[in-house]
Amino acid sequence: MTDLKKLAAQKAATLVKDKTVVGLGAGSTIAHLVDFLNASLQSGLDLQFVTSSFSTLQLLHTKKLPVLQTEFLSQIDIYFDGCDQMDRQLNALKSGGGIHTQEKLLAAMAKEFVLIGDETKLVESFDLKYPVVLEILPQSAAFVSRKIEEIFQVAKMVMRMNDKKDGPVITENGNYLVDAYFESWPEIQSINPIFKNVPGIVETSLFYSMATKAIVAGNEGVVVLES
């Protein structure tokens, strides 16, 4: 059986040119991409890496690849990341890892932001089983939940709890995560401005109008979509 994630990663690697700072997100497709880019380095390309993910950082260090720190960069050349789902306008939902604030920072810093994944990720509209994840200040938890449920009557707010210890999940930034589930989607372009206007919300997991390309692998081959 064809590994579609590996196919997408192989195509993504062809977008990386010499003397490039490459940003990387998280996940199994990104891990495949690291393998392909490592081969490019061995063949003579001059590449440097920056990542929003601890697991990807560990992988880069294991392979002894050159890693830069985000805080010393104002711009990067290209950023690759996966997602839970993307629509045909290349808007994306990323609700799994809880590192969307760092991911969105690198996506915004990049001259080119490329989503990669298999064809199951490409949808006409987002599935309601996926939440918009909010990173919030801990002291704002009760206020944010009440405020969002007032604004969106069809929203259900669920604090993300830690299954390894008692208490909520704590992000790398020291904040909480709240999953906002909708019974029906509001206008997609309105979601981020409304959420970001509520004091206490740091960032959302909806990547609206950010990606420049998407690489989607299916049984019929790999397609490159552009925004």
* pLDDT beyond 70 at 1: no
Number of other CB atoms surrounding residue 190 within 10 Å = 11
Higher pLDDT, 1 or 160: 160
- One-letter identity of residue 175: N
Residue 164: pLDDT band (50, 70, 90) is confident
Structural domains in the chain, sorted by start: 4-123+208-226 (3.40.50.1360), 132-203 (3.30.70.260)
Averaged pLDDT of the chain: 95
Residues 22 and 78: beta-carbon distance below 8 Å:
yes
Prediction pTM value: 0.94
Catalytic residue among 103, 203, 220, 226: 103
Greatest Cα pair distance, the chain, in angstroms, is 56
The pLDDT of residue 56: 97
**Closest alpha carbon to 28 in 161, 121, 92, 105:** 121
* pLDDT beyond 80 at 155: no
The pLDDT of residue 167: 92
* pLDDT beyond 70 at 137: yes
The answer to whether residue 103 is catalytic is yes
Residues 207-221 have pLDDT tens digits of: 999 999 999 999 999
Residues 11-50 have pLDDT tens digits of: 999 999 999 999 999 999 999 999 999 999 989 999 999 9
